[in-house]
Amino acid sequence: MEINVTVPDGTIRRVLQGTTILEAAGAISTTLKKSAVAGRIDGRSVDLNQSILHDCHLEIVTLDSKEGLEIYRHSTAHIMAQAIKRIYGHGQVKLGIGPVIEDGFYYDIDMEQPLSSDDLVIIEQEMEKVIQENLPFVRRRVDRTEALKTFTELEEPLKLELIHGLPEAAEITIYDQGEFLDLCRGPHLPSTGRVKAFKLLSVAGAYWRGDSNNKMLQRIYGTSFPKKVQLDEHLHILEEAKKRDHRKLGKELELFMFSEEAPGMPFYLPKAMTIRNELENFVRELQRQRDYSEVRTPLMMNNRVWEHSGHWDHYKDNMYFTQVDDTKYALKPMNCPGHMLIFKNTLHSYRELPIRLSEFGQVHRHEFSGALNGMMRVRTFCQDDAHLFVLPEQIEEEISRIIDLIDYVYQVFGFEYRIELSTRPEDFMGSEEQWNHAEESLQNVLDKRGIEYIVNAGDGAFYGPKIDFHILDALKRSWQCGTIQLDFQMPEKFDLAYVGVDSLKHRPVVIHRAVYGSVDRFMGILTEHFAGAFPLWLAPVHAKLLPVSENNIDYALQVKKSLEEAGLRVEVDIRNEKLGYKIREAQLEKIPYMLVIGENEQNSATVSVRKRGIGDLGSTSILEIIAQLKGEIIRKEINH
């Protein structure tokens, strides 16, 4: 009996009932069959050996797709678990979960012996054997009783806990590969031999199911790729990322520090404060040119503000609270309510709108200690926030202006970026009609500008949909920074109004906007993006003066004064060290310019210029080097 199979391009193919996904792929093309790793029948992921039993929509999942690579990596995680069981014994190893993560996978295991990097090499060798054996991944559907019996006999308490947590109607499946079996919904590669390139990366502690009340397990991280060249490239990027780690560079370059006295709260050292001031002043000036008014709101406000705004319902677990005069207060997790109160403080005419309020506002959010990560994940940070109060007919024009601003800023840093449109979440506030209008407004702007974007369904803020900007750093890692959020809810909750052309009160619309997002996180990203070699305009020290001997120190100090009077940030190395040593030290500090001063320079009132990454540029006058540096700063060049 033949059945109809509809493929993604809309073509309908006739196949025999019982044809497998792999056979169907082969009927479409030999190339497709070769690259296939799984299929999707009516949207449900299935293994290649799954039979097609009825009319359906069929997609072939290939290795070059995101889903295909995830299946490939999840199968590698199973191979790793099998290898560990073989090496250390089935009774000694209790398995937790082994999901796919970005760029790889991990498996949580419970075993007495602590694993080291040397053990990972041994596990890799056993994984190679499993791959050589080319064991098929075989799916078995079992009922709850059989599943519990199987994992009870295997003495796998963590798997039993997972089974007990499944809904009564859940389908339970087990995958066998040789002597090894695992609880898994799949799908998987056809066999272990399909894995071509993998690497185990590290081992760390992790609480079972992320709960600190549970037992600490060992988490083994790894990655795998269809081709060795892809793996090698990825490992190279990881090595480069270690060198660029902002925590390492932050310490070496004396940028910022952290203390147990304030976990997750960065201390800015003088050099980092210079960078931060430059970042803030850069955007501050752009905002001044675009008619923003800068404000500042209190760090702490009465709890009723947060209950009124809706943040209490959505953020209370991440907020800090305190009692003041028998009243509950909260440190602000965001700046929005403060800006609503400022707008409400004055009665506005429609002629005044749009009103654009900006703030470099410090906010506090409680993060679990295990989630803290240098400047990238902190408990207090500065948001470069702005809230635009607009007439409904001004929405699209203002959003377009914000996109221009964000695009300009990212171009200055040399960032490529991609855009996501995030739509209504499950816990949304307001009416569906308002949300539809808001989503349509954002979509219209993107479409009219011809901007490519991905729809991120259900990931909007609780008060409105948003456009998120994901920048790509020098290692092509993605970071979500800028955002534009359209909000019909806050004006309603705070009873905001303006007087319209009809002399009646009307409700404004609010656009939430950030360019850097978190200034602190953006600094961490920049530190890694530039590998600590900040462009001249951002560099804490523009130039370092290197006198060749003690006889040249007085002249060096005169030059320093001239450069500082011109607004440049300059240091002098007056140590009694050889010139080569001073140059190497300045290079390690990633100083953009080194100005060498010896007898010739002193006699001719010049400096000998060395530029980071280029080397000796020859001698020049003081006025010329000042003009050169100031010109580069004004142009905000990013060559480094």
Report helix, strand or coil for 538. Answer: coil
Q: What tokens were used for 8?
A: 């993604």
Give the pairing of strands 36-41 and 267-268.
unpaired
Task: Identify whether the C-beta of residue 587 lies closer than 8 Å to the C-beta of residue 640.
Answer: no
Other beta carbons within 10 Å of 353: 20
DSSP string, 119-147: HHHHHHHHHHHHHHHTPBPEEEEE-HHHH
> Which residues does the annotation mark as catalytic?
336, 365, 383, 385, 387, 466, 512
Q: What tokens were used for 112?
A: 């007495």
Between CA 79 and CA 87 the distance in angstroms is 12
Between CA 5 and CA 21 the distance in angstroms is 11
Q: What tokens were used for 463?
A: 């008060």
Other beta carbons within 10 Å of 437: 16
Q: What tokens were used for 376?
A: 């990238």
Name the amino acid, one letter, at 93.
V
Task: Identify whether the C-beta of residue 197 lies closer than 8 Å to the C-beta of residue 225.
Answer: yes
Task: Identify whether the C-beta of residue 70 lies closer than 8 Å to the C-beta of residue 19.
Answer: no
532-568: b or e for each residue (b if 16 or more CB lie within 10 Å)? bbbbbbbbbbbbbbbbbeeebbebbeebbeebeeeeb
Question: CA of 254: how far to CAs of 55, 247, 590, in Å?
Answer: 65, 10, 12
Between CA 216 and CA 285 the distance in angstroms is 50
Between CA 383 and CA 406 the distance in angstroms is 15
DSSP string, 468-531: EEEEE-TT--EEEEEEEEEESHHHHHTT--EE-TTSSEE--EEEEEEEEEEHHHHHHHHHHHTT
Between CA 61 and CA 35 the distance in angstroms is 8
Helix 270-289 vs helix 395-413: crossing angle, to nearest 10: 140
Q: Residues with Cβ < 8 Å from 589, sequence gap 6 or more?
A: 253, 541, 544
